[in-house]
Amino acid sequence: MNLNELKHAGLKKWVEEIAALTTPDAIVIADGSSAQYDALIEETVESGLSTRLNPEKKPGCVLFRSDPSDVARVEKRTYIASVKKEDAGPTNNWIDPTELKATMTDLYRGCMKGRTMYVIPFSMGPLGSPISKIGVEITDSAYVVCNMMIMTRVGTKVLDLLGTDGYYVPCLHSVGKPLAEGESDHGIWPCAPMEHKYISQFPETREIWSYGSGYGGNALLGKKCLALRIATVLARDEGWLAEHMLILKITNPKGESKYITAAFPSACGKTNLAMLIPTIPGWEVHTVGDDIAWMKFGKDGYLYAINPEAGFFGVAPGTSKDSNPNALIAASKNTIFTNVALTEDKDVWWEGIGYDAPGKLIDWHGNEWVQDKGNKEQPPAAHPNSRFTAPAKQAPSIAPEWEDPKGVPVSAILFGGRRPSTIPLVHMSRDWNHGVFLGSIVGSEVTAAALDVKAGTIRRDPFAMLPFCGYNMGDYFQHWINIGKNAPVPEHLPKIFYVNWFRKTSDGKWLWPGYGENSRVLKWVFECCAGTAKTVDTPIGIMPTVDAIDRPEGVTEEDMKQLLAVDVDGWLKEVADIRTNHYPKFGDKLPKELAAMLDVLESKLKAAK
C-alpha cells in the first residue's frame, strides 16, 4: 500500500510533513501482513543487520545486535515536555516543549536520507475495543517495525478503524542521522550519540517524539511512551489507571479463579510471575499480560484490567526450563532476539539459560566468546538486558480470555521490588489508602533495564512507575487516592499487597527460592481475597501467620520466621528515609493521606520497640 491510498487526510498530511523534514528515500506503510513481516526480516538478514537462527531449533527467529551504547532505556534523556514545568513534577526531566521541538526538528532534518521511512498504524488493546488506543508510529528502523508487529496489533485493519478522520496518537521515531558516508553500520543498528538522544512525551498535545535510539522502550513507541506515559495522562483525566503491571489469573483446586495484577520495577520479575508454574499441587496460573495493565471500573464496581500489548518483550538472562518454561516456549519460534549470544549452530544462549555454553559463542558485541567458568570476572556473553520479542499467544500459559475487550476483574494488586533486607516476603494493606502508601514507597535495587542509574543501589520507584509517569508524581499519588474515594462499590476494590522475593542472607544467598515457589504467596493472597487466610495484624500491616504459607523445600522454619518478621529497626530507617529523602520531593503535591500514613506507621513501630 502506498501513501496515496491513505484515506485519512490528517494522517497523510502528517506523513508528508515528516517525509519533507526527514527526506527518506522511500515510504512504506506497514499493512500488518506476514508477507511484509517476512520480507522486512529478510532485508535485515541480507543487509547483515540481523542473523537468521537455525530453522530447526528456532524457526522464524532472528538475532539483532545493538550498538554497545544502545542496550536499554535512557532515563536521563527521557522528557515530559509539558507546558508548565510543575506538571512534569520532581521525578521527570523537563524541557519547554517549544524549545525541545526546535532542537529535535534540527536533529530530524534529513535524518532518514538513504533509508526507508515506515508508517506503522497500531492499536494498543484489541482492535476495535472501546478501551483501545490507536497510534501511528513513523520510524526509519525495520527492526522497530518488526518488533511493533509482534508487540501491538498493526496494519490496514487499524487504518480501517481510523477511517477518514479518526483520532490517533502521532509517534515519531528515528534511530538518528546515519554515520558518515562510507562508514558501514558493522551489522548493528545505528544510533545517535547520547547527547543527541531524546525520548520526548508532549502530554498536552499527546505526541511522542523519539530520536537517536533503536532500543525497545525508547523506540517501540506504543509501549512505555504511549501505553504508560501518555496513557497515564489520559487515565488521570478520565478516571482510570495505566500501570506498569502484569496481569495473571490464579485458579485453586476447586476451579475458582481470581485475577491479580502486580507492579514491580523493570527486570524485577513481572514476566516470571505472570507465567509462573505453581509448585503447589492443584493450583494453576495463566497469563493475561506481563508488563502493562489498563484498569477501569466496570458497571459492577470491580476494576477491570486489559493488557494493551500483543507480545512479550522479555528479559532473556535467567530464563530457563526451571525458572520460566512458558517464556522459553513462547520464544521458541517467530521471535526476535536482541543482544543475546549466538552458538555455532545458530541457536541462542544467555547467562542463566540452564546449561553451559555449547562450545564457542559469538557474544552480544559480535566477538568470539569461550566460557571460562572459573572466572567470575568474565564479561557476560549476553547483555544483562538482552531481550526476546515473542507473540503473547505462543505462551502455553496464555489465558483464553487474554484479549477479552471487557478485561478481567481484579481482586488483588501487588507491589514489590528487589529488597535484600527489611521488607518481608508479603504483607497486606489495611485499606485502599494504606495500599496507595505501600505503592508510593516501593524501592528496589537498580537493574540493567535502564542506563545511567547505578546498578545495585536502592532507589525509590513508586508504583514501579518512576520512569513511566507522564505527569507530576505527586498528582499521580492523589489520582490513586481519588480512585479509592470515587470507587462505585468500595468493597469491590482490589486488596493491595507488598511482596519481596529478593531477601538475601548475610552471605548473599537468596533466602526465598522464588519463581514457581512464589505460588505459595499467591495462594495466601487468594485466601485473603476469599476471606479464609490465616492473618496477624502487625505495625506494618496484615501478615500471614508463620504457618499460613507452606514452606518450600530448602526453606527452614528459621528462614520462614526471618522472611515474615517485622524488622522494626529496619522499618524505622525506612520511615526516616521516606521522611527526609523521598516524600519532601513532592512538596505540597504530596497527598495528606500519605503523610498521615507515614506518621501512623512510625508510631506503630515505636510502640512495638
Active centre residues (catalytic): 268
Nearest approach, Cβ of residue 380 and ligand SPV (Å): 18
Residues 6+ positions from 487 with CB-CB distance below 8 Å: 297, 301, 432, 493
Nearest approach, Cβ of residue 92 and Mn ion (Å): 17
515 binds, among Mn ion, ligand SPV, ligand GTP, none (CB under 5 to 8 A by kind): ligand GTP
Residues 6+ positions from 45 with CB-CB distance below 8 Å: 51, 52, 62
73 binds, among Mn ion, ligand SPV, ligand GTP, none (CB under 5 to 8 A by kind): ligand SPV
Nearest residue (beta carbon) to ligand SPV: 217
- At 245, the amino acid letter reads M
Nearest approach, Cβ of residue 460 and ligand GTP (Å): 17
Distance CA 407, CA 20 (A): 41
The reply to whether 291 sits near Mn ion by the rule CB under 5 A is: yes
214 binds, among ligand GTP, Mn ion, ligand SPV, none (CB under 5 to 8 A by kind): none
- Residue with Cβ nearer ligand SPV (266 or 272): 266
Size of the site for Mn ion (CB under 5 A): 2
Nearest approach, Cβ of residue 274 and ligand GTP (Å): 8
Nearest approach, Cβ of residue 321 and ligand GTP (Å): 13
223 binds, among Mn ion, ligand GTP, ligand SPV, none (CB under 5 to 8 A by kind): ligand SPV
Q: Are 142 and 28 in contact (CB under 8 A)?
A: no
Which 3 state secondary structure label does DSSP give 235? helix
Mask of contacts with Mn ion, 228-267, x by CB under 5 A? --------------------------------------x-
Closest to 336 measured CA to CA, from 171, 127, 189, 133: 189
Give the binding site for ligand GTP (CB under 6 A). Answer: 264, 266-272, 290-291, 314-315, 317-318, 323, 449, 501-502, 510, 514-515, 518
- At 126, the amino acid letter reads P
Distance CA 187, CA 48 (A): 5
Distance CA 76, CA 377 (A): 28
- Kindly write down the DSSP assignment for every residue of 316-332, as one continuous string: -TT--TTT-HHHHHHTT
Burial class (CB in 10 A: 0-12, 13-18, 19+), 554: exposed
Q: Are 563 and 425 in contact (CB under 8 A)?
A: yes
- Residue with Cβ nearer ligand GTP (102 or 510): 510
510 binds, among ligand SPV, Mn ion, ligand GTP, none (CB under 5 to 8 A by kind): ligand GTP
Q: Are 409 and 298 in contact (CB under 8 A)?
A: yes
Give the position of cell 537493574.
Answer: 447
Burial class (CB in 10 A: 0-12, 13-18, 19+), 172: buried
**Considering only 285-293, 435-443, 452-460, 497-505, which stretch makes contact with Mn ion by CB under 5 A?**
285-293
Nearest approach, Cβ of residue 266 and Mn ion (Å): 5
8 binds, among ligand SPV, ligand GTP, Mn ion, none (CB under 5 to 8 A by kind): none
14 binds, among ligand GTP, Mn ion, ligand SPV, none (CB under 5 to 8 A by kind): none
- Kindly write down the DSSP assignment for every residue of 256-311, as one continuous string: -EEEEEEE--TTSSHHHHHT---SSTT-EEEEEESS-EEEEE-TTS-EEEE---SE
* Strand 73-74, strand 408-416: pairing: unpaired
Return the C-alpha cell found at 255: 476451579
Residue 512's φ and ψ, nearest 5 degrees, are: -125, 130
- Which residues inside 264-283 make contact with Mn ion, applying CB under 5 A? 266
- Residue with Cβ nearer ligand SPV (392 or 549): 392
224 binds, among ligand SPV, Mn ion, ligand GTP, none (CB under 5 to 8 A by kind): ligand SPV
Give the position of cell 526476535.
Answer: 336
Per the DSSP assignment, residues forming a β-bridge with 285 are 250
Rg (CA), the chain: 24
- Residue with Cβ nearer Mn ion (215 or 583): 215
Return the C-alpha cell found at 532: 479464609
- Residue with Cβ nearer ligand SPV (266 or 422): 266
Nearest approach, Cβ of residue 452 and ligand SPV (Å): 13
Nearest residue (beta carbon) to Mn ion: 291
Return the C-alpha cell found at 504: 538475601
- Residue with Cβ nearer Mn ion (133 or 224): 224
Give the binding site for ligand SPV (CB under 6 A). Answer: 73, 216-217, 223-224, 266, 291, 313, 449
**DSSP state, 385?**
T
Work out whether the CA dihedral 522, 523, 529, 535 comes out positive or negative: negative
- Residue with Cβ nearer Mn ion (70 or 243): 243
- Residue with Cβ nearer Mn ion (269 or 516): 269
271 binds, among Mn ion, ligand SPV, ligand GTP, none (CB under 5 to 8 A by kind): ligand GTP
Distance CA 153, CA 32 (A): 8
Nearest approach, Cβ of residue 313 and ligand SPV (Å): 5
- Residue with Cβ nearer ligand SPV (449 or 542): 449
Nearest approach, Cβ of residue 217 and ligand SPV (Å): 2
Angle in degrees, CA 102, 210, 294, rounded to 5: 125
Residues interacting with Mn ion, by CB under 5 A?
266, 291
